[in-house]
Amino acid sequence: MKCKYLKLLNRYADNELKLNERDILGAHILNCQDCAKELKLIQALKKGVVNNRIDSNQEFFWQELKSKITLKQTADKEEIFTLDFTKFARKLIPIPVVVGVIAAIWLSVSVSTTNENLIDRYLFDNVNGGISNITEELPGDYSGVSILLN
């Protein structure tokens, strides 16, 4: 059966226990083979992870970093200009759309009004026995209207 103190060994190895807890666990480890073996592994792993250093040239790193920052700032400025232009262009996009919609509405209203006028005129002329020749007076084909009414 596993020792109940095994889970505390990480905190022991990482020096995260209070002094009295550390003393108690330290005394336990001396008499517990499971804990002693696990602690040995944790300490070996700690060594293995730490044993890994790179030392870079400070001046070279700094100079390279400075030039990267300068490059990025230049790129950001260009991006700001591009973004501003894009934003401006985006603001302009709705204008032709709105104009187009208004024109379409105006056209449809105007066509339907013209058709209604044609129908009214046709009915008026026929009811009163008039012989008004609509086609001569108004441009457009109203033959469809007469077909519809007949």
CB of 86 to another protein, least distance (A): 22
Can you list the alpha helix ranges (DSSP code H) found in the chain? 9-13, 19-31, 33-50, 58-92, 94-127, 134-137, 143-149
CB of 85 to another protein, least distance (A): 23
Per CB under 8 A, contacts with another protein among 21-50 are 34, 37-38, 40-50
Is residue 10 a contact point for another protein (CB under 8 A)? yes
Rg (CA), the chain: 45
Is residue 58 a contact point for another protein (CB under 8 A)? yes
> What is the crossing angle of helices 33-50 and 19-31, to 10°?
120
Question: Between residues 34 and 125, which has the closer beta carbon with respect to another protein?
Answer: 34
Torsions phi, psi of 18, nearest 5?
-70, 160
Is residue 77 a contact point for another protein (CB under 8 A)? no
CB of 62 to another protein, least distance (A): 6
From 23, 46, 26, select the one nearest 36 (Cα to Cα).
26
Binding residue for another protein, selected from 20, 31, 56, 150, defined by CB under 8 A:
56
Amino acid identity for residue 32 in this structure: C
- Asked if residue 25 lies in contact with residue 12, where contact means CB atoms within 8 angstroms, the answer is yes
Q: Which stretch binds another protein (CB under 8 A): 3-11, 93-101, 104-112, 115-123?
A: 3-11
Is residue 11 a contact point for another protein (CB under 8 A)? yes
Q: Is 22 exposed, middle or buried (0-12, 13-18, 19+ CB in 10 A)?
A: middle
Residues near another protein (CB under 8 A): 2, 7, 10-11, 14, 16, 34, 37-38, 40-56, 58, 61-62, 64-65, 68-69, 72
